[in-house]
Amino acid sequence: MIPNWLMQRAYLTPDKTALSFEDETWTFIELQERSMQLARKLTANGLTEGQRIALLGRSNADMVFIIHACMLVGLEIVMLNSRLKTKEMEWQLEDSGASVVIVADEMSEAVTDLAVPQLPYSTIERSAEQRFDVQELWTADRTITIMYTSGTTGFPKGVRQTAGNHVSSALSSVLNLGLHDNDVWLCAMPLFHISGFSILVRSVLYGMEVRLYEKFDACRAAQEIRDGSVTRMSAVSLMLGRVLQEFEKDNAMAHPSFQTILAGGGSLPVNYLERAAQRNIPISQTYGMTETSSQTATLAAGDAIRKMGSAGKPLFFNQIKIKGAANARDKGEVLVRGPHVTPGYIGRFADTNPLEDGWLPTGDIGYFDEEGYLYIVDRRSDLIISGGENIYPAEIENVLVAHPNVSEVGVCGQEHSEWGSVPVAFVVATEDVTVEELLLFCEERLAHYKVPKAFRFVEKLPRNASNKLLRRELKEWLD
């Protein structure tokens, strides 16, 4: 059994700062009181334990309170990506079977025309309060969150993350990174992502303050790292690069109390690691995914230079092996096992077992060196990582091939100096169609970061004997 996170933390350290957002701060007891108030209002709106709801909002204090209120009631929370288009949200809501969408008022237009009922923040605030029984203990297999990740088929998968998954991830992380009384974790990652949500989990388990940003602000983040008001930060490569630029403008150094930037979402350029070292900014590269509730392996900051390019070693409770590897540096698919791994999916993929013989196949290709450090060769052969966002080519292809003047589409990633990689589409057209038409077609159906940044018209696509698209050849065509 697992103690109710917020109730236990408010009992242990009630007066310790839990959350700061803009110019306001809340202690853990204040966070509990506010979240309990909202939980009673949710109950008054007919929401009860075990019910599955969707949540759409901005990464601000209000969303933190709502998240904790949902957990206190015992709801399963489908975390909706606020960057998705209406059609993408519609698919996820239908697939998840969510009974209602709790939505920030300013974002309600995104779900206005959808079949699932809305429950705006303002309606919750105006509601009466209804008492309910708070569970003091949770079972480890209780589903806390559901986050959608695009599958290789192009259809998003709803990944279940349980109380046990989240706790295991948080404990593994702290055993690796350590914990200090004055730790403040800067969260500029979206709360609907596992990277952002996991910081909230660490906060209540560790008794640690979260400094929350609604949007990433490189200048402000750099200042906080310089003056010592934060000790840790999560970032993707793009964010780290911009923070480094701010430091270099002023020839600044990180405050001695700053512990680390936990960097995920793809491998980091060696140049970034070298520049960070010059600014006394410790970097811990990490490897993980939605199915593993964040980190699976992390490179200690002290090894950042010595083991450049490595994702480190598996965290304490986790196991990683390379499929088919007999020796160090043998490459193969990365397989993961541990209590942080999802028990499965929901909706369309509910009957799909994520494990093979007890191991999660990641689709990533990697190897271990002679000292047991993990290196990821490819973040899935087809995956495009753009500014830390995962983009699957099949999802874009499925949209474009629906255009009446398009017969075939192949999508791959092209290297980009700022975003890491951006999608490019190779199109076989049946009739005349312009780039502008295809661009508009995509913009109406895909999140902005998924829209191809270039279209190339070709007579045919490279395929193998079984007629499977060869995306690796598309990458060669880019050159």
Q: What is the pTM (predicted TM-score) of this model?
A: 0.85
Asked if the structure places residue 119 within a domain, the reply is: yes
Distance CA 274, CA 128 (A): 56
Asked if the structure places residue 470 within a domain, the reply is: yes
Compute CA distances 413 → 39, 159, 237, 383, whole Å.
44, 25, 16, 8
Say if residue 430 is exposed, middle or buried (CB neighbours under 10 Å; 0-12, 13-18, 19+): exposed
User: How much is the pLDDT for 9?
Assistant: 98
Structure tokens at 168: 């295991």
Residues 358 and 419 in one domain: no
Per-residue pLDDT at 110 exceeds 50: yes
Cα 215 to the chain's mean position, in Å? 15
Residues 339 and 406 in one domain: no
At a CB cut-off of 8 Å and minimum separation 6, what does 17 contact?
25, 26, 27, 28, 209
Residues 251 and 336 in one domain: yes
Residues 85 and 233 in one domain: no
Are residues 15 and 29 in contact, defined by beta-carbon separation less than 8 angstroms?
yes
Confidence grade of residue 465 (pLDDT, cut at 50, 70, 90): very low
Pairing label, strands 360-368, 374-378: antiparallel
Section 444-467 average pLDDT: 85
Residues 132 and 186 in one domain: no
Distance CA 328, CA 65 (A): 47
Distance CA 300, CA 310 (A): 10
Give residue-wise pLDDT tens across range 2-40.
999 999 999 999 999 999 999 999 999 999 999 999 999
Asked if the structure places residue 61 within a domain, the reply is: yes
Asked if the structure places residue 434 within a domain, the reply is: yes
* Least confident stretch, 119-123, 278-282, 365-369: 365-369
Asked if the structure places residue 161 within a domain, the reply is: no
Structure tokens at 188: 């500029």
Per-residue pLDDT at 267 exceeds 70: no
For CA atoms 365, 308, 238, 313, the dihedral sign is positive
Distance CA 31, CA 234 (A): 22
User: How much is the pLDDT for 466?
Assistant: 42
Say if residue 234 is exposed, middle or buried (CB neighbours under 10 Å; 0-12, 13-18, 19+): buried
Give residue-wise pLDDT tens across range 139-198.
999 999 999 986 545 688 999 999 999 999 999 999 999 999 999 999 999 999 999 999
Residues 374 and 388 in one domain: no
Give residue-wise pLDDT tens across range 221-237.
999 999 999 999 999 88
Structure tokens at 417: 């100096």
pLDDT above 90 covers what percent of the chain? 76
Residues 370 and 322 in one domain: yes
Q: Which of 378, 401, 420 is the last residue of a domain?
A: 378
Torsion of CA 102, 105, 106, 110, to 10 degrees: 50
Number of structural domains the chain divides into:
3
Section 396-423 average pLDDT: 89
Section 73-88 average pLDDT: 93
User: How much is the pLDDT for 468?
Assistant: 61
Are residues 24 and 75 in contact, defined by beta-carbon separation less than 8 angstroms?
no
Q: Which of 327, 358, 378 is the last residue of a domain?
A: 378
What's the CATH code of the domain at 277? 3.40.50.12780
Residues 81 and 106 in one domain: yes
Structure tokens at 90: 């519609």
Section 380-393 average pLDDT: 81
Section 296-324 average pLDDT: 91
Q: Residue 96 belongs to what domain range? A: 2-138
Asked if the structure places residue 154 within a domain, the reply is: no
What's the CATH code of the domain at 63? 3.40.50.980
What's the CATH code of the domain at 395? 3.30.300.30
Residue 351's Cβ-side half-sphere holds a number of Cα atoms within 13 Å equal to 1
Asked if the structure places residue 69 within a domain, the reply is: yes
Residues 230 and 326 in one domain: yes
Structure tokens at 452: 């191809």
Residues 128 and 173 in one domain: no
Residues 250 and 301 in one domain: yes
Q: Which of 117, 138, 159 is the last residue of a domain?
A: 138
pLDDT above 70 covers what percent of the chain? 97
Which comes out higher in pLDDT, residue 430 or 69?
Answer: 69
Asked if the structure places residue 147 within a domain, the reply is: no
Are residues 50 and 59 in contact, defined by beta-carbon separation less than 8 angstroms?
no
Are residues 412 and 451 in contact, defined by beta-carbon separation less than 8 angstroms?
no
At a CB cut-off of 8 Å and minimum separation 6, what does 430 contact?
405, 406, 407
Structure tokens at 326: 């007999």
Residues 360 and 435 in one domain: no
